[in-house]
Amino acid sequence: MAFREINSKMIEASVVPGQRLFSQRGAMLAYKGDVSFTPNMTGGQGGVMSMIGRRVANEDTPLMTVEGSGTVLFGHGGHHIQVINLAGDTLYVEADRLLAFEGTLQQGTMFLGSQGGVMGMVRGQISGQGLFTTTLKGHGSVAVMAHGGVFEVPITPQRPVHVDPQAYVAHHGDVRNKLSTALGWRDMVGRGSGEAFQLELSGSGAVYVQASEEKL
In the complex, which residues of this chain contact other proteins (CB under 8 A)?
6-10, 25-32, 36-39, 41, 62, 64, 73, 75-79
The residue among 25 and 178 lying less far from other proteins, judged by its C-beta, is 25
Cα separations (Å) of 62 from 99, 101, 127, 170?
11, 13, 22, 19
Q: Cβ of residue 199: shortest distance to other proteins, in angstroms? A: 28
Rounded to whole angstroms, the Cα distance separating 133 from 145 reads 15
Measured in whole angstroms, the distance separating CA 108 from the mean position of its chain's CA atoms is 12
The residue among 101 and 197 lying less far from other proteins, judged by its C-beta, is 101
Q: Cβ of residue 75: shortest distance to other proteins, in angstroms? A: 5
**Closest to 65 measured CA to CA, from 84, 49, 81, 44:** 44
The residue among 58 and 180 lying less far from other proteins, judged by its C-beta, is 58
The residue among 7 and 114 lying less far from other proteins, judged by its C-beta, is 7
The residue among 42 and 85 lying less far from other proteins, judged by its C-beta, is 42
Q: Cβ of residue 76: shortest distance to other proteins, in angstroms? A: 7
Q: Cβ of residue 77: shortest distance to other proteins, in angstroms? A: 6
**Closest to 66 measured CA to CA, from 44, 81, 84, 48:** 44
Q: Cβ of residue 153: shortest distance to other proteins, in angstroms? A: 20
Question: Within 4-157, where are the H helices?
Answer: 48-57, 117-126
- Report whether 169 contacts 82 (CB < 8 A): yes
The residue among 135 and 212 lying less far from other proteins, judged by its C-beta, is 212
Q: Cβ of residue 35: shortest distance to other proteins, in angstroms? A: 9
Rounded to whole angstroms, the Cα distance separating 43 from 134 reads 12
CA atoms within 13 A on the CB side of 91: 26
